[in-house]
Structure 1
């Protein structure tokens, strides 16, 4: 892939803190984060921030991206207004471009059938089971999970709502942002407040 653009989906009620670790450190390490909305009209996140998307969903092409990030939002569980984002995730995965979903976005992917045959996680197993999806046997009780996707499908990262740091770690590992020793140090610093990891990360 030659693109360094990572696309962050933005929509009303977005849990804006969930992708924050990932987007901040991707930006600091050579990636451009671009926001994508249903349209280019401003949205208001759960934290009350107004965001004007860089582009509309209809203009987003997998070949122009290295990753699509889908954050949680109240709207994932109150209707189908965010279903187009799940369908876009399918297009990305089918094109071999990875997708990362956290919190309620995992339920959106489950409803789209994208977790039926992939290892994944979420808040709890019964949260996804309530969607009626067929992927229960592939659920892993873990902070975050990466399914490599195989030769013809893009990789998929999933995480529960309390794990934005583990979510970011999986994204960094997938995109090669940090080599393994520094990735471990990054996680220990931001997840465990391990001050000894700072020197490793800066080395």
Structure 2
């Protein structure tokens, strides 16, 4: 499997990444690569200091199996769109999966990547407020996470559902194991042989 890349920046919502990064490493045996807009240390919303493995400009698209965008206040305040949008559009054009959760869904909307795709966000009103030019009510899905043609979007309340969509997109483990995982982490239903099944 190629690498899974995740964008980190000051104030990124670290808790939204906990499950998905752990499971792509554990179930998918994938290497996780952290990417910053620069090589500088960033501090997550929860106060974790992270040194990015590389800057965005050094990412080789052919090495990416999935690119993850976590939520964070940055997406509501301004970010280097001239660098990020062409990069994301290039991945999309190459059929490389993209995954965005919470406020990061607005990044894909601004880049035009959600146009004509089923998608979700924190709410329709939130997405319309943050990206007024993106109004596609027919494609908005009232669910915590959804996947459409290599693009995964999720509400900030849907980290578990987000993880399942990523596992399905990358075909990690079996449908049965993914259901056991979801029931365990969402509902607290641990089967007696949970560890064995996982």
- In the alignment, which residue of structure 1 is the partner of 2:87? 88
Query: CA–CA distance in 2 between the matches of 1:199 and 1:136?
Result: 43
2:13 alignment partner, one of 4, 15, 25? 15
Residues in 2 aligned to 1:125 and 1:175: alpha-carbon distance in whole angstroms: 27
1:147 maps to 148
C-alpha displacement at 1:178, in angstroms? 1.6
- After superposition, the CA RMSD in angstroms is 1.5
Which segment drifts farther, 135-144 or 70-79?
135-144
User: Within 5 A, what are the aligned runs for 1:155-174?
Assistant: 155-174=150-169
Shift of 1:134: 3.5
Contact 1:76-1:82 at 8 Å conserved across structures: no
Report if aligned partners of 1:26, 1:177 keep a CA contact under 8 Å in 2. yes
Identify the residue that residue 134 of structure 1 maps to in structure 2: 135
| Aligned-pair CA distance for 1:47 | 0.6
Q: Does 1:202 align with 2:166?
A: no
The CA deviation at 1:201 is 5.9
2:59 equivalent in structure 1? 60
DSSP 3-state at the match of 2:95: coil
- Contact 1:83–1:108 (CA under 8 A) maintained in structure 2: no
How far did 1:182 drift? Answer: 0.6
Structure 2 unaligned regions, length at least 5: none
TM-score by length of 2: 0.93
Q: How does 1:41-120 map to 2 (within 5 A)?
A: 41-81=40-80, 84-120=83-119
TM-score, normalised to structure 1, is 0.90
Distance 1:145 1:186 in 2: 18
